[in-house]
């Protein structure tokens, strides 16, 4: 399929650009190649786009990025500098790239203002936040469901742009001790992000901001197959959330999923069954996945009709991001 739009594809400045930026995959043996590809998204990534029918990519800063900077003023400075750098690179290739803002979640008011600047002045499509945020101490973990983030949600609704919740490793790694292979995108990313999304659903924030739209990748971080049981056990066990509706309703009305890094027919079918074809969008997860593998699977999978392929590959993103 030609004309695809991808939206979980990452960019990183050169390694010596700002020592405060950290990247979760730097421990991997093949990190140097990932780093090279991430630093050259606008060149190497563009060639992969051209080779695989991807017309437009929304780029974002890799994880954990801004969320691992402990000082709010430092976080704002690096976020602004990163956003300006991404904008410069997008402008050199008109029509091929746009961006999600990196924002300093260490201070919700600063985060809202940087989002507004990026959307209004730089033409960004929303923001991407890499999981929980650290503040002041390395062992801190602040999650997006906390009420202090209401100014950010107000800004998202005002600007009518989505919030992309991207993975990072959990703050507590005890259960993974002795099994480092479980960390990162193999397992820990998905569990952490699914839990974070459930916290958001159960917090009442979507009752206060029903128009707010959130994106999660990897075909829903296993939530399509597990959210019915979450609601079932909440009801059976007499548990009380702060939300007014079953969590499944928020999942179906406030969340969008991407195919990033999960190129599997049965998982795609499950996601469509749970949230509907109109809430799923194509993505690869460059540079950690090959654009070619993502595109070849998506273009050939027999679980999609041509009309569904067009929606997931292009028109759903056009609608959500108001692209012409």
CA 212 to centroid of chain Cα atoms: 15
Q: Which of 142, 131, 82, 140 is nearest to 107 (CA)?
A: 142
Q: Between vectors from CA 169 to CA 219 and to CA 78, what angle results, nearest 5°?
A: 100
CB 272 within 8 A of CB 301: no
Q: Which of 265, 285, 299, 306 is catalytic?
A: 285
Q: Which of 223, 176, 174 is nearest to 198 (CA)?
A: 223
Give the CA dihedral 61, 148, 211, 236, nearest 10 degrees. Answer: 110
Answer yes or no: 285 catalytic: yes
Residue 163: helix, strand or coil by DSSP? Answer: strand
Tokens of 114: 């940087």
Residue 135: helix, strand or coil by DSSP? Answer: strand
Tokens of 205: 């924030």
Q: Is 189 left (phi over 0), alpha (psi -120 to 50) or beta?
A: alpha
Q: Which residues are catalytic?
A: 285
């Amino acid at each position: 399929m030609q004309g695809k739009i991808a939206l979980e594809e990452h960019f990183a400045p050169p390694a010596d650009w700002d020592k405060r930026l950290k990247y979760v995959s730097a421990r991997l043996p093949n990190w140097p190649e990932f780093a090279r590809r991430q630093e050259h998204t606008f060149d190497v990534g563009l060639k992969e786009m051209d080779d695989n029918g991807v017309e437009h990519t929304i780029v974002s800063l890799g994880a954990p990025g801004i969320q691992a900077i402990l000082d709010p003023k430092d976080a704002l400075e690096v976020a602004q500098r990163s956003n300006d750098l991404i904008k410069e690179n997008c402008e050199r290739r008109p029509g091929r790239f746009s961006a999600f803002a990196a924002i300093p979640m260490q201070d919700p008011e600063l985060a809202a203002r940087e989002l507004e600047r990026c959307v209004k002045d730089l033409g960004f499509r929303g923001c991407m936040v890499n999981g929980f945020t650290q503040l002041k101490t390395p062992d801190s973990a602040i999650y997006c469901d906390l009420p202090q983030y209401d100014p950010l949600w107000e800004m998202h609704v005002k600007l009518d742009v989505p919030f992309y919740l991207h993975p990072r490793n959990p703050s507590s790694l005890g259960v993974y001790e002795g099994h480092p292979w479980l960390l990162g995108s193999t397992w820990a990313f998905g569990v952490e992000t699914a839990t974070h999304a459930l916290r958001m659903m159960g917090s009442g924030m979507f009752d206060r901001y029903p128009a707010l739209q959130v994106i999660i990748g990897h075909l829903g971080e296993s939530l399509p197959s597990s959210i019915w049981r979450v609601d079932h056990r909440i009801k059976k066990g007499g548990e009380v959330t702060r939300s007014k509706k079953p969590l499944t309703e928020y999942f179906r009305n406030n969340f969008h999923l991407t195919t990033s890094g999960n190129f599997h027919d049965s998982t795609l079918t499950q996601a469509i069954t749970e949230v509907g074809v109109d809430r799923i969008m194509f993505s690869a997860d460059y540079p950690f996945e090959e654009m070619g593998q993502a595109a070849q699977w998506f273009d050939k999978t027999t679980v999609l009709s041509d009309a569904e392929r067009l929606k997931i590959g292009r028109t759903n993103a056009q609608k959500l991001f108001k692209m012409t």
